[in-house]
Each structure stands twice: as structure tokens, then as C-alpha cells.
Amino acid sequence: MESRERILERIAFWKEGAERDRLSRYESVSSSVRAHLSRLLTTRKGSVPISPEYGVPDLSNIAGSFESGTSLQMVQTILETVARFEPRLLSPKVRALDDTTELSSLRIEISGEILVNDQRTLIQIPAFVRANGEILLS
């Protein structure tokens, strides 16, 4: 199965015409995956009427301390959410990185593979989990 942009992105690109031709296949698919992950990870679980499971649970109670046990729990929660709701990201992984420059935040990396021209291609997406539980993709 070839990874694709979401239908509304394809319609928008179709209207733009020549602009779409300038984007490489990797850029268009990876941009689409990043955009969806950003929406997914900034949506509170239970706030979307079409699927009560879509989004991440409230991480503010966990994120406040960033102890090793809580960061592992947070990474696992994010991984489960990404694996369930972003099927274009194959073999997803989420790992906590130690070298954060922002106080009260946890730096993570979301990685996996996307299919581009029937070949698996690595994608790595850095992100921050703030103390209030907010997840921001870099």
C-alpha cells in the first residue's frame, strides 16, 4: 500500500496545480504525516465527536514531574496513539531524549517509515512535551 496524502490535501494541491509538481513525493507524504500527527497529538482524547478514542489523554498530571517512570508511561501512551491513528507511519517508535533545553519539558522523537514510490523511507519527527501536557512537533 502506497502512503498518500489525505484527501483534502490532495484536493488543495490539485487546485494549486504547478506548486504540487515542485514538491517531491517524499516531501508531500512526510508533510502530510507531520501535519496529521500535529493535529492528533494536540487533540484531547474524547473531544472529537466522530471518534471518542481519537487524540491523547490528558498528560498534564504525568508531564508535571518527568520522572523516569512517568516519562516511560507518556512515551508509551503517545506511541499507542500514533500507531492506532497514523497508519502511514510504519513501525512507529517514540523515544524520550535526555538533552532538553527547556525547563519542565521532555524532548521526544517520533520515528518510523513511510512508503515513497514503493520503498520504505525513514522519517524522524522531533517533539516536546511541556509540563502542561501539550505536545508540540518541531
- pLDDT value of residue 28: 85
The grid coordinates listed for 67 are 520522572
Q: How does pLDDT run across 43-57, given as a tens digit for each residue?
A: 999 999 989 999 999
DSSP secondary structure string, 114-128? EEETTEEEEEEEEEE
- pLDDT value of residue 1: 47
Q: How does pLDDT run across 93-121, given as a tens digit for each residue?
A: 999 987 655 556 789 999 999 998 889 99
- pLDDT value of residue 13: 57
The answer, yes or no, to whether residue 59 has pLDDT greater than 90, is no
The answer, yes or no, to whether residue 15 has pLDDT greater than 80, is no
Domains and CATH numbers, the chain: 7-137 (3.10.450.40)
Question: ∠31-37-38 over CA atoms, to 5°?
Answer: 90
Supply the mean pLDDT for the chain: 82
